[in-house]
Structure 1
């Protein structure tokens, strides 16, 4: 029978708090899907998943700080277990930590960026179920002759024990699921950039886009620019484009103060990942802006630049390649104009690209 995550918990249900950081992290695990999968795995146990939006901590923060904050939330809400979906990157000895289970606290963490940019819901659900099993003692293997109802009572008893406030930190060891150093860090960085949604940065830079379009229109109808575009080779065009994109990105990062500094040595690696994700987000956003401007420049060149005038300025016949060169150089110069406009953007508009800034937006805690 389908399980409705919105129904209230029964007296015999194991209550799992699913705490997600504000933003894309909450899409990694659907509460109803988790409840249904747990019910399928343990048919003799009632399950109730309570979805909550709460960042729990202000970044940068360690996984131990997250566990403590989640434990406080668990005790305050009266849950049996807590699974937290965080957008913070967690590491252990240079290895990305994908998940962290603390049976003594009844708390598990999932670092959503470490799941990578694709297959998020499938991997997130499988990992959340595995973490609940680990919190309950490795999945609570079957006892010979034990039925579903008896097993369910044993699991509920185990969950109630975890929910009791521990007197010390002794007991079972904490478990961390780590990934390979190289591929894991690349997947982690890709997941952080995906969570930042860099393609939305170009849409938010209205002043930068306006400045770029104004610069592009003036450049597009200048015969001297046509001659320069014709004289440039592909390598020079690429170099000018790289400088234009880099200048715009640097203006955004420096102007809005997106570069973070580590307040403590223990979070230095995490802050370094914040800065890498922010820089990659800004670069991809500016490249998106560049691609849009290139398409508009090609359209504008086809409409505004008369073939006979272009041929006269170049001293030879004008073909599609010449129009592409004109549009390419126009786009590069327009992007530099966009860098000037980017300096006029409000900090709030630009700082959405900063990973730590986005992660620190704590939504009101749900009841």
Structure 2
């Protein structure tokens, strides 16, 4: 029996790990050509998502490794990891064979298959290190195939602080790595969850707009406005609401809190993208609701007579819904200011990290 320990951070790392646990055991036996069965133990530990310094994570996982007597140990973190300003995907401590995999480095929606491939090839590399082999060409090729628009390279280095030797697989492009991290961290934020937290705002906006579309003023304006004006109004409404939510819920990270300009920039970029995607969902939902309401409530002949138009077709209803969604987004922004602040904040990376810091400090105080 070969025992593999996986230390996963709370959230996406934990969810993916539990989903692949049974399948991973079978694939490991097949891929590593061993007759032994694999037993996988999963432990969820906030530390693997609590600090940007991988040395602390390795120190904690090393304790687990000794205490549980596993044959292999991999930690799965939802944190961005770096090596000489390059985004790290896999970090292997060759001194004891413990490895760490960063989920955000895989980009938006890290598929279970990719995480399995990373774990299997990481274990294959560790096994070769144990046997004194240096040829990891096959494993590096398999890992590289997962990064279509980026090149994955590996480097060997000695970390003076921890007195350990590491084999690091990192993306060769700084820009490509940053883009993957932002999209991967946005996925971890789950924009859909933030959209759900805005459900009350959607109700306020729709109630406001539903009252407005029964009056001819909105009909006339949407009918007379050119497309560029309707587009400008929608852009201003969405970005205005985005800015208001950031300000009213203290979502913008400062350098003083994180202590790292790079981390601060990543967190703020992730918050912006998460909010933008959530608000697009919000806006689309409002648009569809107003489109349905307009078609049901407003007879075309009556509207044409009221606004003195020759003909009212599908385009009128499409533009009316567009205009109504934009106007009521402003009302929604006001309502967003009264939403539960913590619910919104929990959908951002920086807030969750601060909570993990606090939990870890409280645990240390109790010891």
Do residues 86 (structure 1) and 74 (structure 2) align? Answer: no
Q: Which residue of 1 aligns with 2:144?
A: none
Do residues 73 (structure 1) and 64 (structure 2) align? Answer: yes
Do residues 16 (structure 1) and 4 (structure 2) align? Answer: yes
> How far 1:359 sits from its partner (Å)?
5.0
Do residues 254 (structure 1) and 247 (structure 2) align? Answer: yes
Residue number among 230, 234, 257 corresponding to 1:237 in the alignment: 230
**2: distance between equivalents of 1:307 and 1:285?**
33
TM-score by length of 2: 0.80
- Secondary structure of the structure 2 residue equivalent to 1:15: strand
Unmatched 5+ residue regions in structure 1?
1-12, 143-167
**1: distance between equivalents of 2:163 and 2:242?**
49
**1: distance between equivalents of 2:290 and 2:188?**
30
> How far 1:328 sits from its partner (Å)?
0.7
Residue number among 170, 174, 188 corresponding to 2:166 in the alignment: 174
**1: distance between equivalents of 2:275 and 2:75?**
28
Larger deviation, residues 275-284 vs 57-66: 57-66
Aligned pairs for 1:207-246 (under 5 A) are 207-246=200-239
Do residues 304 (structure 1) and 297 (structure 2) align? Answer: yes
**1: distance between equivalents of 2:354 and 2:126?**
28
Larger deviation, residues 268-277 vs 236-245: 268-277
- Secondary structure of the structure 1 residue equivalent to 2:121: helix
**2: distance between equivalents of 1:127 and 1:114?**
12
**2: distance between equivalents of 1:197 and 1:104?**
36
Q: Once the two structures are superposed, what CA deviation does each residue of 1:131-189 show, in whole Å capped at 9, x if it has no partner?
A: 223334437378xxxxxxxxxxxxxxxxxxxxxxxxx9445x21111113233322222
Q: Which residue of 2 aligns with 1:331?
A: 325
Matched-pair contact (CA < 8 Å) for 2:6–2:40 = yes
Q: Which residue of 2 aligns with 1:351?
A: 345
Q: Once the two structures are superposed, what CA deviation does each residue of 1:172-225 show, in whole Å capped at 9, x if it has no partner?
A: x21111113233322222222122221232222132112211221122112111
Do residues 107 (structure 1) and 98 (structure 2) align? Answer: yes
Kindly indicate whether structure 1 or structure 2 has the higher relative contact order, using CA contacts under 8 Å at least 6 residues apart: 1
Question: Cα RMSD between the aligned structures?
Answer: 2.6
- Secondary structure of the structure 2 residue equivalent to 1:353: coil
**1: distance between equivalents of 2:130 and 2:289?**
58
Q: Which residue of 1 aligns with 2:28?
A: 38
TM-score by length of 1: 0.80
Greater gyration radius? 1
**1: distance between equivalents of 2:72 and 2:256?**
32
